[in-house]
Amino acid sequence: MANDCPSHKGNCDASPSRCEGPLSFYSRGGSAQAYKPHAPVKSDVCINSSTQQSMATWFLARSSRRRAPNLKVGLHLLECLSSEESQCCCAPRDKGDLEIEIWQTKPDGCYSSITPGREEGICRATLEDTSFTTLAPGSTGVLGGLGPSGWDFAPYGPPVIHMLFSEEQYEPLLVHLPIIFDSSLQPRSFGGPDW
């Protein structure tokens, strides 16, 4: 990559006050404790299912809704470097040797087994390129979608798709993509009416 920045340099302010936004209970997305290495290479993370989607309805309840919608996701990769004129300098990049691992809950809010050899590739994938299809994930609670026999307890958060980006010369980057269909799950402060 060339050392000079693209034409939009100087427009990016990486100061915490501009990038982080308001903090809330779910502002950082869900947990990554359900990560399982060596997911199969494929472009569909969760296949079509008749399972209903369990979606949090802020923040102490979770209800089943109609069949989970199909999602088509495309990733636009950027490589960002620091420069003397600006705190950041980003330009588009190709996937190259970047490994992208995706995992999420099934529509019912449970992760597939994290035990090696069991439920391999169910709602998990290593991407060949930068796009994938999946079903909308379900919401997890305090057991993080890993409770026995699908048990989980409030509070529930918005469902997320987890993405782990790995490349030899860089530190791994974990990204949580919230999938919010209900406006009541937008980040906000917890207060008396929530009881």
172-184 pLDDT per residue, tens: 989 888 887 665 5
Q: Tell me the pLDDT tens digit for each residue of 16-41.
A: 333 334 444 344 445 567 899 989 99
Q: Tell me the pLDDT tens digit for each residue of 93-148.
A: 999 999 999 999 988 888 998 888 888 889 999 999 999 999 988 888 888 888 88
- How many Å apart are CA 43 and CA 172, to the nearest integer? 21
Question: Token pair 């980006």 is at which residue?
Answer: 165
